[in-house]
Structure 1
């Protein structure tokens, strides 16, 4: 897309779209329908290309803008915002690790709105272990045959292309994982299972079966190259993007309740009570705390990304892993807790009632999914083990013994 691609312009565009999306959010939720109209607006406005470099026709913006836009969109429609955030996670992965030939082929399509990307990392039988694979690529001449069953794929039947994790060869260990780029038009894609959930009902996260053939250039970062891609980009960018959406959903719910309390037509003596003020203060404090942690982790990741001298191993620093895993846990739990607090303020009539004009119960159901997306229990177990290695207890924004910020002070061990 041509035109002004400044951060302010992107944010203003997001605010306009968020207001539009909010008008249809209740219907999207009720029908558990993919928000096709919303995604079309993301396509035609160029927001699918937010992270695509300007040299490929994109907006050329960064993770700070991704986070801001995700929060704004989350306040309008959680499902649409998550579809967009996960698409951007895949775009970041391609931009940072894709072969130049692949980038020239794909990124202009993304920038023009012609390519919505989806991620296929889930696989029955591996228990959510992102860095392992069961289904294997099979060599076929100068390429590979890819056969994959996936139980959950966000926007699975609506995506234009996929990034798919595969075991590199039939005789490879599960830890030898490749990441394949697969255009929808080049694959046989069939429906396996539907999506009927408590919340996030518009993400259309269906089960799929895919069969296709891929060339060497379609393997992002080469054969077996997925683990460093995941540690350096897919996981941290994903956590930053997801957390931004969840925080945006909670912020939207908070604005709704503040509007109720300020509206003389609906407020009551109870609404103006000290108890309501107490709940409101706690909800705001939780929002501010989560936002501060998100910004700290975003700043640290951007700074870490700029330091190339340590190589890819720098992303495995113990303190950084603690921070980025902890961010996902903290924001997913806090955003849900904020909406729970807001339901208490609204009471039965304005908090617990289900109606198109009340986003609280929808936000409550949507945010219940947050702790289940790459389950918090798994991340907490990992962080408990990592905490034993971080003897300096390097908190976000603090300095290590050598004067570098938090996770640049090396322990000599990778996570």
Structure 2
């Protein structure tokens, strides 16, 4: 479990707090990757600088979508595992904070979040279920009738659960509910028992600890969120997660591009003209890709804020499209940077200061986070609904 905030520094502006965390994340990124360990130093810094839960304020004090994008992007440049953990966490804690109505137990969690800065994991996927909407887990009432429930679930993937302070678990309210009627339950880490855990041994994103196993939650019905999983997923979890993930992947691409820029400057005086021309074109293409993704992410983040948290089929489609585009284009940009550098990018960091080993392995994860075919199927189903073109808005 991640450490509690201690010796919290005097609260600085968001930009300065983020810069301090980025410095810590960058300093430990290589070690986190090499050892495949949780980025404890960076997450500890996120807690100390109060960047896991936003400050209480009139109207909820929520992170805005552009702020989520900005933080995930900066962290992704420094340490992709830290950036991805932060983005996944925001999808969860925002789902709790943006509820239209909360029970006392859930509100108590939110009221203390600013002080405790809890790290919230996802317990939504399930072995044998194509998506959380098909989870077979359900709440079992304890015999004494005081509202206590037990939930057993075989989780296929849950990132950083071992270090989390809480998690969101998807299950039916009872065994009698239809499989499609899924609820979201806020579970504290101390209420979870974990067994048969499968460790995370992966090509990249090694610090996220994305293992899986059997969990048993002993909690209370008061911690079931007001909205169903389908509602809160469409309105909060998927749009904000897609934005955060895309920004993190963009950060990886920019990290690779900066290395490629440095290598390119050193190569100019000792590279054949035809080879230099090809490298120049690839460097330009990598830069153009980053610019395009930046604009797309910023545009959707602003759209989400303008919608004021209201779900719409159009926003879900655009969010899914951004997730697919960012996954592909971030990979393209990193590979262009890789080819600008050449063989030095292929070497490990211990052998080359221009190594892109970590960036390549980390960005490849974008293509396997949630089935792309399933996302395309969902978008295809939404695409059957009537739609209008925003290009006509200027006509009044």
Give the TM-score, by structure 1 length.
0.85
Instruction: Give, in angstroms, the shift of residue 388 of structure 1.
Output: 3.6
The answer for the alignment partner of 1:99 in structure 2 is: 102
Contact 1:44–1:113 at 8 Å: present in 2 too?
Answer: no
For CA contacts below 8 A with separation 6 or more, give which structure has more relative contact order: 2
The answer for the alignment partner of 1:321 in structure 2 is: 316
> Any residues of structure 2 matched to 1:115-194 within 5 Å, and which?
115-127=118-130, 129-140=131-142, 141=145, 142-194=147-199
Contact 2:106–2:186 at 8 Å: present in 1 too?
Answer: no
| Cα RMSD for the two superposed structures | 2.5
Instruction: Give, in angstroms, the shift of residue 285 of structure 1.
Output: 0.9
The answer for the alignment partner of 1:411 in structure 2 is: none
The answer for the alignment partner of 2:31 in structure 1 is: 27
The answer for the alignment partner of 2:51 in structure 1 is: 47
Q: 1:220 aligns with which of 225, 228, 241?
A: 225
Instruction: Give, in angstroms, the shift of residue 193 of structure 1.
Output: 0.6
Q: 1:337 aligns with which of 324, 332, 335?
A: 332
Stretches of structure 1 lacking an aligned partner (at least 5 in a row)? 307-313, 404-415
The answer for the alignment partner of 1:297 in structure 2 is: 300
Equivalent pairs, count: 382
Measured against aligned partners, the alpha-carbon deviations of 1:339-398 in whole angstroms (never above 9, x if no partner) come to 01111111012x211115445221111111112111222212222333343443x36xx4
Q: 1:269 aligns with which of 271, 295, 303?
A: 271
Relative distance call for 1:400 and 1:161 in structure 2 (3 A) is same
Measured against aligned partners, the alpha-carbon deviations of 1:166-218 in whole angstroms (never above 9, x if no partner) come to 12211222101010011111222335211111110110112132223222220
Point out the more displaced range, 153-162 or 186-195. 186-195
1: CA distance between counterparts of 2:301 and 2:263? 33
> Any residues of structure 2 matched to 1:329-408 within 5 Å, and which?
329-349=324-344, 351-356=345-350, 357-358=353-354, 360-392=356-388, 394=389, 398-399=391-392
Relative distance call for 1:399 and 1:191 in structure 2 (3 A) is farther
1: CA distance between counterparts of 2:288 and 2:19? 24
Relative distance call for 1:359 and 1:323 in structure 2 (3 A) is farther
Contact 1:95–1:103 at 8 Å: present in 2 too?
Answer: no
Stretches of structure 2 lacking an aligned partner (at least 5 in a row)? 1-7
Measured against aligned partners, the alpha-carbon deviations of 1:239-275 in whole angstroms (never above 9, x if no partner) come to 11111111111111111211222347x9732598221
User: Could you say what secondary structure the match of 2:138 adopts?
Assistant: coil
Measured against aligned partners, the alpha-carbon deviations of 1:301-357 in whole angstroms (never above 9, x if no partner) come to 111126xxxxxxx5132x2222111000001111111101111111012x2111154
Contact 2:106–2:223 at 8 Å: present in 1 too?
Answer: no
Contact 2:11–2:49 at 8 Å: present in 1 too?
Answer: no
The answer for the alignment partner of 1:64 in structure 2 is: 66
Contact 1:147–1:209 at 8 Å: present in 2 too?
Answer: yes
